[in-house]
Structure 1
Amino acid sequence: MAGEAQADCLFCKIVEGSIPATVVRETETTVAFRDINPQAPTHVLVIPKAHYPDAAGLAAAEPSLMADVLREAGEVAAQDKVDATGYRVVFNTGVGAGQTVFHAHAHVLGGRGFEWPPG
């Protein structure tokens, strides 16, 4: 059920503390941790503590929680000092877009140049 922890979800296990992660920020509603396969000098995932399968589902069900995720993405960028030079926030939604963990999450990427269009 959306919003409730899922026993088989990697990110839900990080939220509960049963799987370790390099946490860089945590709020009442979000956790931000370093990606284990970084694609840039700053590559941090910001997730809601509540389980939603993807960004669209999260935004539809709890817009204020989606706002928390985006606000924390900005805080991560500032903390890692990439806010002045530029950073990217990416939500992969669905297999075709490269989503591999079906718990909504934002990738905060910075510290290097990016091309457009992406991917």
Structure 2
Amino acid sequence: MEDSIFTKIIKREIKSEIIFENEKIMAIKDINPQAPIHFLIFPKEQIETINELTSDNSELISQIILTATELARKYNVAEKGYRLVMNCNDDGGQTVPHIHCHLIAGKRLKWEF
């Protein structure tokens, strides 16, 4: 499997604005934000799609969601509201072959397709 852009960011081969990191998870600011707050939260282990997840990954997914809620509080958007999105494969809008969660906030969000 070829390294994803997120794996290259984890390895510090590509620069990015890292806002959170621990031994299993990293969060960065999206380079093409769709709202004033738009972060990407992903595991350091490269898993290409959410279809590949098993019950063995449940703690990892939990950490991603909990990291998102911590970031929402840290950036003062938890009370007003935010959106978490995970895309899967081409028709689902996934553009990077590495699972990730979008935290989008900072304005009133619409549901558009």
Gapped runs of 5+ residues in structure 1?
1-5
Letter in 2 for 1:37: N
Shift of residue 61 of structure 1?
4.2
Question: Any idea what SS the aligned residue of 1:84 has?
Answer: coil
Shift of residue 84 of structure 1?
0.7
**Taking structure 1 as the reference length, what is the TM-score of the superposition?**
0.88
Counterpart-to-counterpart distance in 2, 1:55 and 1:114: 24
**Taking structure 2 as the reference length, what is the TM-score of the superposition?**
0.92
Deviations 1:17-68, CA, capped at 9 Å, x for gaps: 1111100111121000000000000000000000101233235441110111
Alignment match, 1:48: 43
Contact 1:7–1:13 at 8 Å: present in 2 too? no
Aligned length: 113
Alignment match, 1:69: 64
Contact 1:46–1:105 at 8 Å: present in 2 too? yes
Counterpart-to-counterpart distance in 1, 2:2 and 2:96: 13
Match of 1:112 among 104, 107, 111: 107
Question: Any idea what SS the aligned residue of 1:104 has?
Answer: coil
| Percent identical residues | 35
